[in-house]
Amino acid sequence: MLDLSNKRIVVTGGAGFLGRQVIEQLVQAGAQREKISVPRSRDQDLRNLQTCQNVSQQQDIIIHLAAHVGGIGLNREKPAELFYDNLMMGTQLIHAAYEAGVEKFVCVGTICAYPKFTPVPFQEDDLWNGYPEETNAPYGIAKKALLVQLQAYRQQYGFNGIYLLPVNLYGPEDNFNPESSHVIPALIRKVHEAQQKGEKTLPVWGDGSPTREFLYSTDAARGIVMATQSYDDPDPVNLGTNEEISIKHLVELICELMNFDGEIIWETDKPNGQPRRCLDTQRAKERFGFTAQTQLKQGLKNTIDWYRANAD
């Protein structure tokens, strides 16, 4: 197991929703808070090679969480930006880390990398068996290219880079911006605002039939740190719960937890996204002992409580 106590660690995206949790888990695992650095996008643009080189100097571990990411709306509106930004950030940072002699690179990929019609539960070995769901493809492929790069750099240079595939994340401090949020924060905000306005209907995109799997942010962060300490193989690894829920049931559960009794209106002219998502989580359990601990209902309750306390 990698001893983190004296390691200099960079966490890109470390000021974000998942990043803050990862930093807490690193500290719990023995890392020194003052040796963890977080490049901020407003000061350091990781799409620039020189910035990546500066960030990588004299570092032992880089955990790359930074991403330009959003829900279906953003995927449809800005596919070119999502492709370019994520590819450039990742590929230049990996190269700079290798050149700077970084000991370990932890790349956090995306579930959007999987083919549209992957057999459920998704197994890591199926990652290349088809094209991703169209709305996700530019983002998913940009992130998936980083797996190829890490495997190539391992093969040619002996560079220790690992690649993790977390399922949809949620939790307190998530992004609740309606322009770019994912499904759980978007729904919580929507229900909250309907209650504030006294509305009796709730419009929701799609028909409710797709299924999704959701991983609580604290669990995801713990999995990332466990892999940082104990996983050194080239194979990608899923991080998830191995439990799926339909969007219909998810909406009903959030309405129940928030005491909203209005009518749900399914906007069937809007896209559903990928038909099903659920991960096979066996590899993470076998290779570094990770299993999720937070039940969806409890995680949703925590997220709703946080949002209500911070809605302003």
**Phi-psi sector, 51: left (phi>0), alpha (psi -120 to 50), beta:** alpha
Give the integer Cα–Cα distance in Å for 248 and 296. Answer: 15
Residue 80 assigned as binding residue: no
Distances (CA, A) of 226 to 28, 59, 80, 287: 11, 19, 34, 10
Residue 312 C-beta-side C-alpha neighbours within 13 Å: 1
For residue 185, whether the previous peptide bond is cis, meaning omega lies within 30 degrees of 0, is no
What is the secondary structure of 79-144 as a DSSP string? HHHHHHHHHHHHHHHHHHHHHTT-SEEEEE--GGGSBTTPPSSB-GGGTTSSPBPTTTHHHHHHHH
Residue 158 assigned as binding residue: no
Give the integer Cα–Cα distance in Å for 306 and 299. Answer: 11
Residue 108 assigned as binding residue: no
Residue 205 assigned as binding residue: yes
Q: What residue ranges in the chain does DSSP mark as E strands?
A: 9-12, 36-37, 61-64, 104-108, 161-166, 168-170, 201-205, 211-212, 214-216, 237-239, 245-246, 263-267
Residue 169 assigned as binding residue: yes
Residue 86 assigned as binding residue: no
Residue 171 assigned as binding residue: no
Residue 19 assigned as binding residue: yes
Residue 143 assigned as binding residue: yes
**Cβ-contact 65, 108 below 8 angstroms:** yes
Active site residues: 139
Residue 18 assigned as binding residue: yes
Residue 145 assigned as binding residue: no
Residue 15 assigned as binding residue: yes
| 261 CB neighbour count, 10 Å cutoff | 8
Phi, psi values for residue 275, rounded to 5°: -60, -45
Residue 166 assigned as binding residue: yes
Give the integer Cα–Cα distance in Å for 24 and 21. Answer: 5
Residue 167 assigned as binding residue: yes
**Cβ-contact 268, 207 below 8 angstroms:** yes
Annotated binding site for substrate: 190, 205, 212
Which positions make up the binding site?
A: 13-19, 143, 166-169, 182, 190, 205, 212
Question: Which residues contribute to the annotated binding site for NADP(+)?
Answer: 13-19, 143, 166-169, 182
